[in-house]
Amino acid sequence: MRPGPPTVKGQRRRDELLKAAQDVFEREGYFDTRVTDIVTQAHVSHGTFYVYFDSKDDILRCLIDQLVEELYVGSTEEEGLHEASAYAQLEATIRQFMAVYKANAKMMRILEQVVAFDDEVREIRLGIILRFTERIKAAIVAFQARGGDPDLDPAHAAQALGGMVGDYAFACYVLKQDIDERVAIATMARIWAKAVGIPIDVPVVTSKPAPRRRKASA
Amino acid sequence: MRPGPPTVKGQRRRDELLKAAQDVFEREGYFDTRVTDIVTQAHVSHGTFYVYFDSKDDILRCLIDQLVEELYVGSTEEEGLHEASAYAQLEATIRQFMAVYKANAKMMRILEQVVAFDDEVREIRLGIILRFTERIKAAIVAFQARGGDPDLDPAHAAQALGGMVGDYAFACYVLKQDIDERVAIATMARIWAKAVGIPIDVPVVTSKPAPRRRKASA
Amino acid sequence: MRPGPPTVKGQRRRDELLKAAQDVFEREGYFDTRVTDIVTQAHVSHGTFYVYFDSKDDILRCLIDQLVEELYVGSTEEEGLHEASAYAQLEATIRQFMAVYKANAKMMRILEQVVAFDDEVREIRLGIILRFTERIKAAIVAFQARGGDPDLDPAHAAQALGGMVGDYAFACYVLKQDIDERVAIATMARIWAKAVGIPIDVPVVTSKPAPRRRKASA
Amino acid sequence: MRPGPPTVKGQRRRDELLKAAQDVFEREGYFDTRVTDIVTQAHVSHGTFYVYFDSKDDILRCLIDQLVEELYVGSTEEEGLHEASAYAQLEATIRQFMAVYKANAKMMRILEQVVAFDDEVREIRLGIILRFTERIKAAIVAFQARGGDPDLDPAHAAQALGGMVGDYAFACYVLKQDIDERVAIATMARIWAKAVGIPIDVPVVTSKPAPRRRKASA
DNA sequence: AATGAATGAGCTTTCATTCAT
DNA sequence: CATGAATGAAAGCTCATTCAT
């Protein structure tokens, strides 16, 4: 990566290129994107591109760094609900993850396309997941200490539960399956809570139109 | 796709090309694979390739068809444990999925690389998942009828649990995270069972060296 | 060209190939025709093609020979109007040329496509024209002896008048301009007759529905 | 067609490529011309070709546009003989057409090769001819008003006489038949004049070495 | 006589990158 | 800083022709 131009004008140019590149990558996918598309979209010449970036791969890496940054910011700004129940916190965490994923879905799609054959990007993706699963793992351990299921392996459970959410997000926002987010989040929270042993203290959410309490029949 | 040569010799050549293509795709990824690589590996000329396949895309599609076939065969092979407990059956299903995925991991990697930007392949992948999740959904519904958690939305739960297993497999066999399969399977089965309400009737499996039964009282 | 197979079956095969080739050439033009198209149309294998013909060029040459033969036969078929007026004979000759051209228009189109860059075919085309213009020339000379315009160069006039007819035929039947043949033939005969000095002894033909006047002046 | 580079240097390169392409097309014919030949002749790389043109077809179309332009310019250049006799004007028109054709003969050869199977080029050729025949038609109509043969269909006569000249030019300059232009032009003018009814007021021109009779002028 | 699998030179076209201006 | 003309290696693909069967 280039040293990064010191001037304000240069910085703006760089940002324009990044923006243009993101547009094109998101629209065409990594392999179908040509440098020509990017410079056209940014209204600059080919030469200018190489003033700011070493290669097509370089600019992708910059965009992925940006993405990681946004995922990080998105998933930490939050949670004034320290006083909420464990279940409520859990559901909030899942909801937040889904929201952040949704906001960056197009770039996630690029990431998934590249991840399988680019070691460097794979490391980055593992890092993203790791940060998420580490938080999950810590929560599981904490809850086990307060009486949760002691037979659950925290590391594996974190991986499994994190993967569940990640895969759901991929299915929803990348593969565009037609899914009701509300029910999806509730279902995942429910599964997760039961797995860890957190009591479920909120009403059931389903996709059925009128689901209020059905104790009567039970 | 070409009509396909009727002679035995032609059929053999076609198979050789498919084999060679699979090798190269698995080694290089879809986008880094050149037709030249395939024909070199198969020890035939460029022209021969186009006798049997219309394009690089065409041969990939043939390989994916093969893959789907193998996934299908692999996941319907019977397991003769109809008399086993619900939990044992569940664990067996997960184990089988992981085994089939592992056996075809390299091609799954290709599939994941292409899926994000190829509508046709996306449909195929959705089909694969659908078959798996449909089975899960049916099992959940069946278990709910026998006293399982009635508040779980079967479709969403199936998607979530299926995604969990799929993502774990991807992490294990494609991203090659260093994971203890035994524990992974046990953990997933445990989460799954708790989610649906299936009693866990087997000893705990963890990654710790000597895990035999602890806390008999707990 | 191959010796030509002696067997009846072989002869039939050869004819089938010629027929198929003609179809394809006429449909696609010389350069867009592939041997594959020809053998497919003829329901034989590639190998068989080369049993009967040396190359794509070879089969074209055979077809052109056929064409020349048909043009020759078509334009010598006699019409028993030796007693008709000179003008009537002239008009009949033009009409006959147009009819023969029309009957072979599709192959003429091929001929015109190839003629500009194939010396051998050019010679053939020159031969066709030569035969036609020689007849015209002889007629002019004969008419000059009987009082026609002595200042007309017979060779050049033959070339010019023959070209006029040839070009008209090309415009009508290859370029498919929408032209009334009856008027076209009458107009050409009129021009020709005036050029050579032949008295015009038939009623005027025009495209106008009701040709008035004419007797009065005659 | 590409936007076309704005710089002077770019414009020059484009012209060089056009020139090179014309050379090669004229030498080899359309179908035997490869992009490799063009870029070799122009001393540029393959890539450069595609900076300026989309394809081999594209550059041909540009050349044909140029050709049409030149034909147009060539045939409207005025000749200041408004005071000449009708016959003299007629002969001048034919002479001019032959000269313009001769100057562009090599490209006309390309045009004829492509015209039979390319609808777009066919339209162009029809346009060229139309412009010429329209002028002829107008002249015929004008002359008919001043006492010319009223029984000649102007449209058909124009087509026939125009075709005559066109075909002669093709024979002379493309097929390279050995023809004395002077006599050719004189003969065509004579035919044409007689057809329309224009009095022939110039001495006879023939190919014979010692033209007898002509005493009057001698 | 017939087959059709196999060839491979050679085609058109693409595109990331460079560098003189 | 910015340009954009130029590159050239390499890609996918075609097709007339050959030859072992």
| Chain segment B102-122, per-residue pLDDT in tens | 999 999 999 988 888 888 898
Neighbours of C55 (CB within 10 A): 12
CA C109 / C1′ E10 distance in Å: 29
Nucleotide showing the shortest C1' distance to residue B13 CA:
E5
Q: How many residues comprise chain A?
A: 218
Residues D39 and D97 in one domain: no
Q: Which residues of C touch D110 (CB under 8 A)?
A: 116
Q: Is residue C201 part of a domain?
A: no
Cβ separation A191–B191 shorter than 8 A? yes
Residues B72 and B150 both lie in one domain = yes
pLDDT band for C211, please (50, 70, 90 cuts). Answer: very low
Instruction: Give the DSSP letter of residue C217.
Output: G
What is the overall mean pLDDT for chain B? 86
Instruction: Name every chain C residue with its beta carbon within 8 A of the beta carbon of D153.
Output: 183, 186-187, 206-207
Which domain CATH number covers D156?
A: 1.10.357.10
Which residues 143-162 of A have a C-beta within 8 angstroms of B? 149-153, 155-157, 159-161
Q: Is the pLDDT of residue A147 over 80?
A: yes
- Both tokens of A185, joined, read 């989040």
Q: What is the pLDDT of residue B133?
A: 86
Whether chain A has a CB inside 8 Å of the CB on B195: the answer is: yes
Assess if residue A100 is contained within a domain: yes
**In chain A, residues 44-83 whose CB comes closer than 8 Å to chain B:** none
Domain count, chain B: 2
- The span from the CA of B87 to the CA of B198, in Å, is 6
E-strand spans in chain D? none
Q: Convert the pLDDT of each residue in A180-217 to its tens digit.
A: 999 999 999 999 999 998 999 877 666 655 444 444 33
The answer to whether the CB atoms of C188 and D160 lie below 8 A apart is yes
Chain A interface, best mutation among B153, B172, B190, B200, by max A CB count within 10 A: B153
Residue at which a domain ends, from A54, A73, A90: A54
Distance C13 CA to E4 C1' (A): 18
B3 to B6, B200, C172: CA distances (angstroms): 9, 53, 42
Residue C165: inside a domain: yes
Same domain, C47 and C87: no
The pLDDT score that the predictor gives to residue C149 is: 87
Domain span holding position B165: 64-196
CB contact under 8 A, B206 and A166: no
pLDDT tens-digit readout, A107-146: 999 998 888 888 889 888 888 888 888 888 988 898 899 8
Distance set, CA D101 to CA A59, C36, D170, D172 (Å): 56, 39, 8, 10
Closest nucleotide to residue C59 (Cα to C1')? F16
- Judged by C1' against the alpha carbon of C7, the nearest nucleotide is E1
pLDDT of residue B72: 87
User: Is C208 inside any structural domain?
Assistant: no
The nearest CA of chain B is from the CA of A6 a distance in Å of 37
Residue found by looking up tokens 């508040």 in the block:
B151
Place of tokens 């190269």: B24
Q: Which chain C residues have a beta carbon less than 8 Å from that of D157?
A: 187, 191
Confidence of residue C78 (pLDDT cuts 50, 70, 90): low
Average pLDDT, integer, range C204-213: 54
Q: What pLDDT band is residue C217 in, cutting at 50, 70 and 90? A: very low
Range list of H helices, chain B: 8-28, 35-42, 46-52, 56-76, 86-103, 105-115, 119-145, 154-169, 181-196
A129 and A85 assigned to the same domain: yes
Q: What pLDDT is stored for residue A216 in this prediction?
A: 38
We report the CATH number of the domain holding residue A23 as 1.10.10.60
Question: Do the beta carbons of residue C14 and residue C52 sit within 8 Å?
Answer: yes
Q: Is the pLDDT of residue B216 over 50?
A: no
CB A121 within 8 A of CB A65: no
Q: CA–C1' distance C50–F19 (Å)?
A: 12
Quote the pLDDT of residue A81: 56
The answer as to whether A78 is a domain residue is yes
Regarding whether B101 and B33 lie in a shared domain, the answer is no
Supply the pLDDT for residue A214: 43
Final residue belonging to a domain, choices A17, A34, A54: A54
Q: How confident is the model at residue A79 (pLDDT cuts 50, 70, 90)?
A: low
Q: Is the pLDDT of residue D117 over 60?
A: yes
Distance from C-alpha of B81 to C-alpha of B92, rounded to nearest angstrom? 9
Contact A116 B112 (CB under 8 A): yes
Band (pLDDT 50/70/90 cuts) for residue C208 is low
Q: Are residues B72 and B46 in the same domain?
A: no
Please check whether residue B206 lies inside any domain of the structure: no
Residues D26 and D106 in one domain: no
C136 lies in a domain? yes
pLDDT given for residue A95 in this prediction: 92
Residue D122 shares a structural domain with residue D182 = yes
User: Do the domain assignments include residue D192?
Assistant: yes
pLDDT digits (tens, 9 = 90+) for D149-207: 898 999 999 999 999 999 999 999 998 888 899 999 999 999 999 999 899 987 766 66
Question: In this structure, what DSSP letter does residue C171 have?
Answer: I
State the sign of the Cα–Cα–Cα–Cα dihedral A176, A128, B188, B153: negative
Tell me, yes or no, whether C85 and C136 share the same domain. yes
Instruction: Decide if C160 and D184 are in contact by the 8 Å CB cutoff.
Output: yes
Q: Does C214 touch chain D (CB under 8 A)?
A: yes
Q: For the segment A89-100, what is each residue's pLDDT rounded down to a tens digit? A: 889 989 999 999
Residues A105 and A23 in one domain: no
Q: Region of D176 please: left (phi>0), alpha (psi -120 to 50) or beta.
A: left
One domain for residues D100 and D15: no
Q: How far apart are the first and last CA of chain A?
A: 64
Cβ proximity of B165 and B172 under 8 Å: no
Beta strands in chain A (DSSP E): none
Instruction: Answer yes or no: do D50 and D70 share one domain.
Output: no
Angle at B16 between CA B15 and CA B18, to 5 degrees: 65
- Name the residue among C167, C183, C204 with its Cβ closest to that of D167: C167
CB A83 within 8 A of CB B83: no
The predicted-structure confidence for C84-132, as pLDDT tens digits, reads as follows 788 998 899 899 999 999 999 999 999 988 988 888 898 898 888 888 8
Give A48's Cβ-side CA count (13 Å radius). 19
Option in B32, B164, B183 nearest A117 (CB): B32
